[in-house]
Amino acid sequence: KAGVTQTPRYLIKTRGQQVTLSCSPISGHRSVSWYQQTPGQGLQFLFEYFSETQRNKGNFPGRFSGRQFSNSRSEMNVSTLELGDSALYLCASSFRGTATDTQYFGPGTRLTVL
């Protein structure tokens, strides 16, 4: 069974631009969560989608948004990029998105903001 895939793997943007990252979950998984990983803060939860609806959101500004499609694929968007947005963005999928479900992570997208 194929794992979680993320595209692109690497991105370089400049301040003020916007970026869209894509995630394809494991086949049959309906929940997709997004996390930001930085050396200083570690892994932090951004938001979670299930059946095309955002169910939960972490403590991030409104510049961070996402959506999920009917095939469970998900995208996240960051508008008006800041230097501090440089990070590894990780997508994780789980079967039902319940609190006891295991989340499986993709390889991440490395975003560098110049």
Partner 1 sequence: EDQVTQSPEALRLQEGESSSLNCSYTVSGLRGLFWYRQDPGKGPEFLFTLYSAGEEKEKERLKATLTKKESFLHITAPKPEDSATYLCAVQSGGGGADGLTFGKGTHLIIQP
Smallest distance, Å, CB 30 to partner 1? 11
Chain positions 18 to 47 lying near partner 1, rule: CB under 8 A, are 31, 33, 35, 42-47
Chain positions 77 to 106 lying near partner 1, rule: CB under 8 A, are 90, 94, 97-106
First-to-last alpha carbon distance for the chain, in angstroms, is: 37
| Geometric angle at alpha carbon 61, from 58 and 65, rounded to 5° | 75
> Is residue 58 near partner 1 by the rule CB under 8 A?
yes
Q: Is 3 helix (H, G, I), strand (E, B) or coil?
A: coil
Name which position in 17, 51, 56, 80 contacts partner 1 (CB under 8 A).
56
Smallest distance, Å, CB 104 to partner 1? 6
- 114 CB-near residues (< 8 Å, 6+ apart): 12, 13, 14, 15, 83
Please count the residues of this chain forming the interface with partner 1, following the rule CB under 8 A: 31
Smallest distance, Å, CB 81 to partner 1? 21
Closest to partner 1 by CB, 20 or 58: 58
Q: How far is CA 90 from CA 4, 104, in A?
A: 10, 10
- 2 CB-near residues (< 8 Å, 6+ apart): 26, 27
Task: Kindly list the residues in this chain that would bind partner 1 in the complex (CB under 8 A).
Answer: 4, 6, 31, 33, 35, 42-48, 50, 55-56, 58, 90, 94, 97-108, 110
